Amino acid sequence: MEKPRLSFWQIWNMSFGFLGIQFGFALQNANTSRIFQTLGANLDVIPWLWIAAPTTGLLVQPIVGYFSDRTWNRLGRRRPYFLTGAILASLALIVMPNSPALWVAAGMLWIMDASINISMEPFRAFVGDNLAASQRVTGFAVQSFFIGTGAVVASMLPWMLTNWFGVSNEAGHGQIPASVRFSYYLGAAAFFIAVVWTVISSKEYSPDEMASFGITATPESHGNVAETILHDLFAMPKTMQQLALVQFFSWFALFAMWIYTTTAVTAHVYHTTDTTSVLYNDGANWVGVCFAVYNGVAAFVAFGIPPLARWSSPKMAHIVCLTCGALGLLSITMITEPHYLLYSMIGVGIAWASILSMPYAILTGALPPAKLGYYMGVFNFFIVIPQIIAAAILGYLVKQFFGGDTLYALVVGGASLLLAAALMFRVKDN
């Protein structure tokens, strides 16, 4: 017997928590470099400070996935992790913009990212657990919609608070503007409320119900926890290995964009590097608007990807979207007026919608259902490893080969997306 098809609103409710999770990620992506720079970080040090985010993901996600595969209690299998991560991440979001020193902000980034990962990782497996194979693309597309929608609002919060509500966007040397601090407080509330909504409005199948669908819900073990994790790591399916390379270069590009867009735009479009100036903070806020636009595009494009995948194939849909993202990033190098950056973000948004959905939809069909949580966590190795490498080498490349011009980091990102699209041709789509 196959799993019953869920209604649109059931899929909506089970994905709603991603709206809150993306509030946390979007605030982090749009404002962390700004906070670090305001607290005195040099440009070539910022990538190393960012390394906290991918490193925590590398450690946390496979462990959370391993245990969530084996957890069954009153809240279910995945939902206990949603709720725990939401509580911790909301607290971290409140503390982060009040960091009195650079080392405190760097430490809070570790804590915040670990907490977000505790909530986020099981959400991917949640789709595979609850949805029939015919609905998985739709399930991941709805997640992409919430990711895009949450990121639109969260990325624009400092700009909106300043321009709509008169909250100050200026602060003294080494001080975080009120517009940023209040954005983080609102993000903390949104994170917690959205995840709690999914916890109380969704159900999970019990082991007996999973067995009635012909699915073994409890994964086999190969010795202790470490031995089982290593055994399954080297036994990953071929499709997952092929997708891993695509993910690697896709996320290398994204990390380059998240780290360097603020410094590139404020220097090249706003012509300032003075973090205390009104012009710099206006430029940094506009980067938040740009990030909101690409996430907004992703939210709407998410619903266009399933028809495109049915018309061609999931693989070809992803290739087209990655190519659009590459062109969007590369076009930034030719822009001198702020509003034209929004057109570049359209291409980035198309790629972002696909990166958040198509690899997971393709992957889910190639994984053993009992180990969805673990393998989704391992798959995120190929999200975080490229970020660690990007953090390690981009600062050196910018300093040694590009004369400190961070605009060229975005060129590297665009080339990386093109390579990801090319590697996608090798993926076997089941």
CB atoms within 10 A of CB 177: 25
The mean pLDDT value for 211-230 works out to: 63
pLDDT at 251: 92
- The predicted model gives 111-121 an average pLDDT of 86
Lowest mean pLDDT among 101-105, 173-177, 341-345: 173-177
Ramachandran angles phi, psi of 76, nearest 5°: 115, -150
pLDDT tens across 191-200, in order?
999 999 999 9
| C-beta separation of 209 from 35 below 8 A | no
pLDDT in tens, 36-95: 888 887 777 777 777 766 677 777 877 887 788 777 888 888 899 989 999 999 999 999
pLDDT, tens only, 4-21: 888 889 999 999 998 999
Whether the per-residue pLDDT at 226 is higher than 70: the answer is no
Rounded distance between C-alpha atoms, residue 229 and residue 71, angstroms: 16
Rounded-to-integer distance, Cα 349 and Cα 290, Å = 10
Q: State the number of CA atoms in the 13 A half-sphere of 115 facing the CB.
A: 28
Domains of the chain: 14-203+230-426 (1.20.1250.20)
Q: What is the pTM (predicted TM-score) of this model?
A: 0.73
- The answer on pLDDT for 308 being more than 90 is no
Instruction: Please tell me the least confidently modeled range out of 83-92, 132-141, 239-248.
Output: 132-141
